Amino acid sequence: MKKVAIFFLIILSKLAFSQSGFKCGQDVANDYLFSQDKTAKQHFEKLIEDADKLSNIRLNVNNSSSTFTIPVVFHVLHLGGNENISDAQIQDAVTILNRDFRKKNADTLSIVSQFKNLAADCDIEFRLATLDENGNCTNGITRHYTPNTNWTVNFSNYLYTWDRTKYLNIYVVKTMQNGAAGYTYLPGQVSAIADAVVILHNYTGSIGTSNNFSSRALTHEVGHWFNLQHVWGSTNQPGVACGDDGVTDTPNTKGHSSCSLNSAVCSPGVVENVQNYMEYAYCSKMFTIGQKNRMQNCINSGVAGRDNLSSATNLIATGVINPNFNCAPKAEFTSNSITCVGNNFNLTDYSYNGPVTTWLWSSPSAINTSTLQNGVLTFTNSGLASVKLKVGNAFGEDSIIKQSLIVLSGLNSGILNLIQSFETNFPDSNWLKFTPQFGCSFATYTNSSASGTNCAWVNNYYDNPTGSVSIYSPLYNFQNLINAPQLSFKYAYAQRLIADNDVFKVYISSNCGGSWTQLFSKSGSQLSTTGALVASPFLNPSQSQWATENINLSAYSGNQKVAFKFEFIPYTPSLGNNFFIDDINISGIVSVIETDSDLNGVQVYPNPVAENLIIKADDLQKIKSVMLFDILGKELAVSIEKNTNYFQLLVKTLPKGIYFLRIFSSEGSKTIKLFKE
């Protein structure tokens, strides 16, 4: 009998049903699971052994009915795309589960003769819950705007799981690692939070983004959730070696990725059960009586609280008995968005659970509120802004606050040569950062730097963030330059393990953060500045371990609202090592073009100048400030004397060369090119 089970379902697109078989993500998932707990593999094998012993023994049925009813909740993770599937598509998926588990599928007529009498009505049914864990009204579908819809094998992704002793939790996501379309863990194998089915949106139901061809992927997955193995046994994919699933009425088989109905490879003369739901062949139509017994034994054994699911008490608690469909809505909207001070910002409503009739959008940082379904707010302060959405209908109200709206600031001076060296407070009202829901973000580091005493770092060794962390620059005006703007920065990083694939990227936006273009990207060993693996915390990079990047931005000359994003993306299957950044420099030389007005009545002389520069005005109160810059854009400290109707700049000690004088007045501003003799 089989000693090791496959607990992942890998269902691919139609092209995957080829002679090459399925691509399986079990290795990655197992590696992650067993790396987190040294006892996990032994525990996994013991669960299989115990289930095999009971596989063909019918345990006493504890429920009062011959049918087990399972409350279900779907958690749809999305970013506003097609993966945010409709309620109708989810209801269709539940209909298909009930059809397949109750043997009501019409295609049972085409089951081959050897197995027609073994095809089982499993007496297991599924109902969307109408009461949540707290007794509140629900339609059995939750929706969450989150980048976790691009699913990775990481226990921290299971943020929304309801009590597994009361509900079958199903996560619907956009993408998954290694081409997998779904997976689940064996009952009792993992903690309660991860005891759920994960499935791609286009393998959920048969309508909307899915189709009939993909619709039975969830049937296969839920079979795993009730302790069924793949019919071919312990190999990673079908066709490798003959194996057994611990059920006597499913013959030994290598498994199939094509519909070879008369296959009898493992036991000559014994046709294999190619049409089984726990196969990879695309002609699945049945569970066997032995599989039915194994699933019902799982429900009655009490493992992972499965025995409570169909109890009369739980069916009442989850609203399956006497359901209530008149629910107040649950508020949800987009987050992690970017705008600029003074801009109108559009917000998208993704509320669910009940029809919404009223909306109210607000923010402490906005000058207005909005009652539109998709709200429009205008922000006056830079930084991380919180936004509140309150929704309601005749049955009640709900609200949610999110604090990840990034409002970029503008720079008033127009001078480009600005350096973020992290020597002063970070973040501030100009330089901002984004922090994921869990784990660390960029922070000031005071023990080492490329220059000065401080830099910024991500503590990726001890406090691995659950998602990307970013630094956002203020806006820059690339108009009126006489040379190409430049971006430079310094960074240091060490790999912890050869498999670690931490990533660092730099982006530019020329439309106030509306879209981003990648300027720089390195990962893993390419990102490393140490030239070797560092198993201990990488804490104090030496000067030789800092790398410098210089990027020409000539393609963006002339743009008025340019921003930069510096993003570190951790390799989530394992903890990595630390990343450091310092001396971010955006530079350029402002032209002599007058930017706002002619500043009538203001005179500057002599030019060229040898010792003293005169700035004269018919009304000296017009002039608010005067700034002098060298050819690299660095502001210079010079002595300024104020007389009755003019300013005098003492420039005698400056080296010969070209300088730029910036004058700000009540009428506007102008830049003047100076020649020092």
Q: Is 311 exposed, middle or buried (0-12, 13-18, 19+ CB in 10 A)?
A: middle
The tokens describing 237, both together, are 């994919």
Structural element, H or E, at residue 29: helix 26-36
Q: What 3-state DSSP class applies to 331?
A: coil
Helices and strands in the chain: count of H runs, count of E runs: 8, 31
Residue that has been written with the tokens 């607990």 in this structure: 7
Q: Is 585 exposed, middle or buried (0-12, 13-18, 19+ CB in 10 A)?
A: middle
| Angle (CA) 511 513 517, round 5° | 80
* Those residues with Cβ within 8 angstroms of residue 585's Cβ, 6 or more apart along the chain or in another chain: 417, 418, 419, 420, 486, 487, 488, 489
Q: What 3-state DSSP class applies to 108?
A: helix
The tokens describing 340, both together, are 């600029």
Q: For residues 115 and 205, give the distance between their C-alpha atoms in angstroms, rounded to a whole number.
A: 26
Within a 10 A sphere around the Cβ of 134, how many other Cβ atoms? 7
Q: DSSP H helical segments within 504-597, as ranges?
A: 524-527
| Angle (CA) 130 134 135, round 5° | 40
The tokens describing 220, both together, are 């296969």
Q: For residues 167 and 311, give the distance between their C-alpha atoms in angstroms, rounded to a whole number.
A: 12
Q: Catalytic one among 49, 133, 221, 549? A: 221
The tokens describing 460, both together, are 């990726």
The tokens describing 543, both together, are 């000067």
The tokens describing 278, both together, are 């726990």
Type of residue at 630: D
Query: For helices 40-54 and 26-36, what crossing angle results, to 10°?
Result: 110
Q: What 3-state DSSP class applies to 652?
A: coil
Q: For residues 461 and 570, give the distance between their C-alpha atoms in angstroms, rounded to a whole number.
A: 10
Q: What are the angstrom distances between the C-alpha of 224 and each of 233, 334, 390? A: 13, 34, 40
* Those residues with Cβ within 8 angstroms of residue 264's Cβ, 6 or more apart along the chain or in another chain: 270, 271, 272
Answer for the pair 337, 512: CB distance below 8 angstroms, yes or no.
no
By residue count, the chain amounts to 677
Structural element, H or E, at residue 51: helix 40-54
Closest CA to 205 of 90, 325, 41: 90
Q: How far apart are the first and last CA of the chain?
A: 94
Residue 677 designated active-site:
no
Q: For residues 173 and 150, give the distance between their C-alpha atoms in angstroms, rounded to a whole number.
A: 7
Answer for the pair 414, 629: CB distance below 8 angstroms, yes or no.
no
| 268: Cα within 13 Å, side-chain hemisphere | 0
Which residues have a catalytic role annotated? 221
